[in-house]
Amino acid sequence: MLLSRAPALLELDVGNAMLGDDGIKLICDAISERRTNPRLTSISLYSNNIGRLGVQVLANMLRCNRTLKTLDLYDNPGIGDEGSKELARELTPRHNSSLTSLNLGSTLLGDIGTVAIAASLQHNKHLRRLDLSFNCVGDVGTRALAAALREFNSSLTSLDISECRVSTAGSRELVRALSTNRSLLSLGMEYNPMVDGKGESDVRAALETATSVAAQELAQRDAHQHASKKAMAMNKGVHMYRRDLWSQAEAGISYPYDPYPLKY
């Protein structure tokens, strides 16, 4: 198999290959065997007719894997809510702490699966990108995602729920989340026909405000860190200067002026 013959492979794209559950099992078994490929960081499995068995082996693989960062499962409608719940259980730090990008777009994901994913986001500190677009995510799932972003999660930077079933009520929950969340920089909500014009504009405005505040806070942190490093460097220089003066004094060499006098 390719994975056993290419132990240095970093990315694997076998999308649109109609592998089915049996093919997914072969791939996951090979990945789980760490001696086969210990460096793989990205797998694209879009449009592969993945069903319940395929999701189970994927979940088991995530539980054991420590290198995979990107998993693309787009256009596998057999995953659904039950499969999404299986995967969500593996997104907790106790099971997986390496995955940073997950694409579950067009997988017949509904509110039940979305609530499970939102629950995992309460504890997950590594996932950066989450794509749930082209699904059946409604206000119940959106409310759960918003609560996770508002109260628990500070790592997710990109969320896509375009082409779903979110209404204006759901968009309001996201606006509330953005009032406190400082990590989300991208929020896809296009083509949710039940969100009115005001809901769309409110979300855009909230996202712009959140990203602006986040940028300001980041700049302040960088400035503080720079000032701290500069102060440490100056203190180190002063210490080394005085150490030289002491050494020279012991050798009988004296200097009348100390630019860094000690204060008592």
pLDDT digits (tens, 9 = 90+) for 161-218: 999 999 999 999 999 999 999 999 999 999 999 999 999 999 999 999 998 887 777 6
Q: What DSSP string runs through 60-129?
A: HHHHH-SS--EEE--S-TTSHHHHHHHHHHTTSTTT-S---EEE-TTS---HHHHHHHHHHHTT-SS--E
pLDDT per residue over 87-117, tens digit each? 999 998 888 889 999 999 999 999 999 999 9
Q: Is the pLDDT at 3 greater than 90, yes or no?
A: no
Q: Model confidence at 228, in pLDDT bands (50, 70, 90)?
A: low
Between 3-17, 38-52, 194-208, 248-262, the lowest mean confidence (pLDDT) is in: 248-262
- pLDDT beyond 60 at 54: yes
Q: Which of 68, 184, 59 is nearest to 129 (CA)?
A: 184
Query: What pLDDT does 264 receive?
Result: 41
State residue 94's pLDDT score.
83
2-233 in CATH: which number? 3.80.10.10
Burial 134-158 (b: 16+ CB within 10 A, else e): bbbbbbebbbbbbbbbbebbeebeb
Number of alpha carbons in the 13 Å side-chain half-sphere of residue 25 = 8
Share of the chain above pLDDT 90, in %: 67
- Where is average pLDDT lowest: 18-22, 145-149, 239-243? 239-243
Q: Which of the 8 DSSP states describes residue 43?
A: E
Average pLDDT (39-52) is 95
pLDDT at 261: 53
Name the pLDDT band for 243 (thresholds 50, 70, 90). low
In this structure, the number of other CB atoms found within 10 A of the CB of residue 32 comes to 16
How do the domains of the chain map onto residue ranges? 2-233
**Strands of 129-131's sheet in order across:** 11-13, 42-44, 70-72, 101-103, 129-131, 158-160, 186-188
With a cut of 80, say whether residue 230 has pLDDT above it: no
Tokens of 217: 């806070």
Output the CA angle 240-243-247, nearest 5 degrees.
140
Looking at residues 8-33, what average pLDDT do you find? 90
Q: Which residues pair with 101 in a beta bridge?
A: 70, 129
The residue assigned the tokens 């005085």 is: 242
Which residue type is seen at 7? P
Query: What is the pLDDT averaged over residues 54-58?
Result: 97
Radius of gyration over alpha carbons of the chain, in Å? 26
Helix axes 168-178, 139-151, angle to 10 degrees: 10
123-166, pLDDT tens digit by residue?
Answer: 999 999 999 999 999 999 999 999 999 999 999 999 999 999 99
